Amino acid sequence: MKQTLISAVLLIMAVVLPLLVGENPYLIGILISVLMMATLSSAWNIVGGYAGQYSFGHAAYFGAGAYTTMIMLSVFNTNPLIGMAAGIAVACLIALITGSIVFRLRGHYFALASIAVAEIVRLTVLNLGFTGGAQGILLTDVAFFGLDMNSKNPFYYGMLFSLALTLAITAYIHKSKTGYYLQAIREDQDAAASLGINLSFYKNKALMISAALTSVVGSIYAVYIRFIDTTAVLDLRMSIEIILTAIIGGVGTLWGPVLGAVLLVPLAEALRSNLLGSVMFKYGIVSETSPVGIFLKDGLAHAHVLVYGIITVLCILYLPKGILGFFRRGK
Amino acid sequence: MTRHLLDIDHVSKHFGGNVAVSDACFSVEEKQIFGLIGPNGAGKTTLFNCITGYFPLTSGQIVFNGSRINNRRPDEICRLGMARTWQRVKPLCNLTVLENVMVGAFATTNATRTAETMARQQLQAVGLVEYADKPAGSLPIGLKKKLELARVMATRPKMLLLDEICGGLNHTETASILDIIRTLRNGGMTIVFIEHDMKAVTSICDRIVVLNSGEKLAEGTPEQITSNPDVIAAYLGGGHHAQD
């Protein structure tokens, strides 16, 4: 009951947020990135957090959504929703093939195999003609029920919808037989099998749901950016970012991945745009020409990936159950 | 008229050149408490793993309740009504005690509420109600063994395979587990029981099979087994040295 109320309040806040931000495309862009990473990480959480199967290849499903949608739009000129549906089908197919092969493996071997499958998908797309190869696919114009697709707002609400959908599905799974079975598989696969749980069926089910939701985000992202190539949507870095967000927020919890995205995406953006340095220069705390100023401007801004990495390592060392897990230690 | 619930028919299991179980043959009747004993490395747990689908057989066949179950998956065998516990307990550590038992109960229902009701009944039966909301990983070993029992009982089995359910327990804990098993027997449960504790085995079993180096050494009632010279030799190690 309390959780439903909190969810409702958060949803209303998220719906009105663009009105408060107004016509600031930069801020809306960051909010879209937050929602996108929150959804991806929550979708990964179903198979990674609940079933404990650490997939390092979720970029494949994101890419499946993005590429299928872009090909449907640029070649067949369909409605983006049809592209999205086709993307879900392709992602589920890849998930089913992947799952039936790699779910025979456990632990580290499963993680390695999931990377291998994602790399196979990436290299295949890179070398095929109709996927645009290394050039990628560019979309010049898109129509969607008369909405202004040059504004960022439709994409904000699209991402918000996919996040709400993903969380609703996760909450439903959490309370159902499937949720209990996935957690049993995470805790001990032999014990789970001895209690009548069909391991490969439930692992594949979790992966299919996760892949479908991930591909939805890929579809929205592709139409939003209107340009995709393998580096943008199929890179291993993407898969790892999804996992880190979930781990830092708290795996196996409903809100953990969302929390991770809310903290990490703006942090990465602040580091990238040298927010700390600009504020200090603006208020004259540090002079731009002083050694500290030069470090902030040239050193820190360029080393944002390093800082991001250090924060991740600290979180893993000191908050192994994620931020949400840390505060729920008693439970 | 009693009927066979489980038939072990010329079952062998080799790991490479190592013969773990060799040509084992025995039958378990309905409502029997059946003891499987033998020295360390006799192949008792291997045989359990073969029966419950964790190891494929090298040869032979296993029939449970009228259907062949070798080559079936562990989860299928469980849903046919054969449940097992583990020598090294396998609690789902990050789930609560209640949730552990609910996972078992979901074998016969899809509804979360029904599963919870069934799980609470099983916790009542083994005396773990007060621990329902504790994480399973936090229980001491004696209670973890009880949790294993409650969890497999929640799957509503026709037959229970207990792998050293009293192993590592003190006298009080062992007595309390044996009480639960007696209650189960009175309720009509068929139980196969691997145990080292001879006192526990002879006090509770109707029939006993002794395995030694993977082969069946003897079969009979507890009285026949405890007076069998081959069994005594196997347990004391090297028969003729002892006689000399």
Q: Please state, in angstroms and rounded to a whole number, the distance separating the CA atoms of residues B134 and B31.
A: 34
Q: Span A259-270, mean pLDDT?
A: 89
Q: Do B99 and A199 touch (CB under 8 A)?
A: no
Interface mutation vs chain B, best among A104, A190, A194, most B CBs within 10 Å: A194
**Chain B residues lying within 8 Å of A190, measured CB to CB:** 54, 74, 86, 90
Question: Residue A312: is it exposed, middle or buried by C-beta count within 10 angstroms (0-12/13-18/19+)?
Answer: middle
Residues of A with CB below 8 A from B157's CB?
Answer: none
- Cβ atoms of A50 and A181 closer than 8 Å: no
Taking an 8 Å cut-off on Cβ atoms, the answer to whether A177 and B110 are in contact is yes
Judge whether A221 and A66 are in contact, CB under 8 Å.
yes
Tell me the nearest-neighbour CA distance from B226 into chain A, angstroms: 33
For the cut 80, the answer to whether the pLDDT of residue A277 exceeds it is: no
User: How large a percentage of chain B has pLDDT more than 70?
Assistant: 96
User: Do B107 and A183 make contact, defined as CB atoms within 8 angstroms?
Assistant: no
Predicted local distance difference test score (pLDDT) of residue A148: 81
Show me where the domains of chain A are located: 19-235
A193:B78 CB<8 A: yes
Q: A180 and B115: CB-CB below 8 Å?
A: yes
Nearest chain A residue to B107 by CA: give it: A196
Element (H, E) at A228: strand A227-228
Other C-beta atoms closer than 10 Å to the C-beta of B22 total 19
Structure-token pair, residue B110: 């899809």
Secondary structure (3-state) at B212: strand
Minimum-distance CB partner of A194 among B84, B91, B111: B84
Note the pLDDT of residue B241. 45
- Residue A102's closest CA among A92, A115, A86? A115
Distances (CA, A) of B228 to A102, B27, B120: 51, 20, 44
Assess A182–B contact: CB distance below 8 Å, yes or no: no
Among A130-139, A194-203, B92-101, the minimum mean pLDDT is found in A130-139
Check CB contact of A32 with chain B, cutoff 8 Å: no
Average pLDDT of chain B is: 90
CA distance A235 to chain B (A): 33
Beta bridge partners of B59: B12
Size of the A and B interface in Cβ pairs below 8 Å: 80
Cβ of B73 within 8 Å of Cβ of A193? The answer is yes
Q: Which two tokens stand for residue A191?
A: 């014990």
**Angstroms from B161 CA to nearest CA on chain A:** 11
Q: Which residues, other chains included, contact A73 with Cβ-Cβ below 8 Å and sequence gap of 6+?
A: A80, A83, A139, A142, A223
Contact with chain B for residue A298, Cβ under 8 A = no
Residue A132's CB: how many other CB atoms inside 10 A?
20
Cα(B112)–Cα(B117) distance, rounded to whole angstroms?
9
Q: Which helix (H) or strand (E) holds A137?
A: strand A137-138
Q: Where are the domains of chain B?
A: 1-81+160-168+192-244, 86-156
Q: Is A181 on the interface with B (CB under 8 A)?
A: yes
- Nearest-CA residue of chain A relative to B148? A191
Kind and range of the H or E element at A227?
strand A227-228
Q: Given this model, what pLDDT does residue B239 score?
A: 47
Hey, is the C-beta of A51 within 8 angstroms of any chain B C-beta?
Answer: no
Amino acid in position A124: T
B59's torsion region: left (phi>0), alpha (psi -120 to 50) or beta? beta
Residue of chain A minimizing CA distance to B93: A187
Mean pLDDT of B46-61: 94
| pLDDT at site A158 | 94
Check residue A17 and give its pLDDT.
85
Q: How far apart are CA A66 and CA A188, in angstroms?
A: 35
The answer to whether residue A195 neighbours chain B at the CB level (below 8 Å) is yes
**At CA B165, angle to CA B162 and CA B170, rounded to 5?**
165
DSSP-based three-state secondary structure for B63 = strand
Chain A residue with Cα closest to B136: A187
- B26: exposed, middle or buried (C-beta count within 10 Å: 0-12, 13-18, 19+)? buried
Check residue B197 and give its pLDDT: 74
The amino acid at residue A295 is F
Show Cβ contacts of residue A71 under 8 Å, excluding neighbours closer than 6 positions.
A83, A130, A131, A137
For residue A148, which phi and psi values (nearest 5 degrees)? -80, 100
Put simply, the answer to whether A183 touches B99 (Cβ < 8 Å) is: yes
Closest Cα partner for A238 from A58, A67, A89, A55?
A58
Give me the sign of the Cα torsion angle A218, A262, A254, A186: positive
| A110-125: average pLDDT | 93
Among A175, A177, A191, select the one facing B106 at the smallest CB separation: A177
The band of A331, judged by pLDDT with boundaries at 50, 70 and 90, is very low
Give the separation between CA B133 and CA A206, rounded to whole angstroms.
26
Instruction: Identify all chain A residues contacting B52, using CB atoms and an 8 Å cutoff.
Output: 194
Residue A302 has pLDDT above 80, yes or no: no
Span B114-127, average pLDDT: 96
Average pLDDT over residues B117-140: 95
- List all residues 6 or more positions away from A246 whose beta carbon is below 8 Å from its beta carbon: A41, A42, A44, A45, A48, A49, A256, A257, A260, A322
Contacts of A194 in chain B (CB under 8 A): 52, 74-75, 78, 83-84, 86, 90, 152
- State the complex-level ipTM: 0.91
Across the range A100-125, mean pLDDT stands at: 90
Angle at Cα B129 formed by Cα B123 and Cα B135, nearest 5°? Answer: 90
Chain B residue numbers touching A196 (CB-CB < 8 A): 75, 78-79, 104, 106-107, 155
Q: Which residue of A has its CA nearest to B55?
A: A190
CATH architecture entry for B1-81+160-168+192-244: 3-Layer(aba) Sandwich (3.40)
> How many CA atoms are closer than 13 Å to the CA of B164, on its beta-carbon side?
17
Work out whether the CA dihedral B167, B173, B177, B178 comes out positive or negative: positive
**Residue percentage of chain A with pLDDT more than 90:** 56
What does the pLDDT average to over B113-128?
Answer: 96
Q: Which amino acid is at A25?
A: P
Q: What share of chain A is helix, strand, coil (3-state, %, to 5)?
A: 75, 0, 20
The nearest CA of chain B is from the CA of A225 a distance in Å of: 41
In the predicted model, what is the mean pLDDT of residues A137-144?
84
Beta strands in chain B (DSSP E): 4-15, 18-29, 33-37, 59-64, 67-68, 82-84, 159-163, 190-194, 207-212, 215-220
Q: Specify whether the CB–CB gap between A261 and A44 falls below 8 A.
A: no
Residue B20, CB-side half-sphere exposure with 13 Å CA sphere = 18
Give the largest Cα separation in chain B, rounded. Answer: 66
- The confidence score (pLDDT) of residue B238 equals 54
Q: CA A16 to CA A88: how far, in whole Å?
A: 29
User: How big is the CA angle at A132 (ends A128 and A137), to the nearest 5 degrees?
Assistant: 145
Axis crossing angle, helix A2-21 with helix A153-175, rounded to the nearest 10 = 170
Chain B residues bordering chain A (beta-carbon distance below 8 Å):
52-54, 73-76, 78-79, 83-84, 86, 90-95, 99, 102-104, 106-107, 110-112, 115, 151-152, 155
Euclidean distance between CA atoms A171 and A169, whole angstroms: 5
Range among A145-159, B35-49, B120-134 rated most confident: B120-134
Give the model's confidence band at B20: pLDDT under 50 very low, under 70 low, under 90 confident, else very high.
very high
Give the pLDDT confidence score for residue A329 in this predicted structure: 54
B2: confidence class by pLDDT, cuts 50, 70, 90: confident
Residue B242: pLDDT above 50? Answer: no
* Set of chain A residues whose Cβ sits within 8 Å of the Cβ of B93: 187
Model pLDDT, residue B64: 95
pLDDT score for A3? 78
Interchain pair B112, A177: CB under 8 A: yes
Angle at B95 between CA B162 and CA B111, to 5 degrees: 85
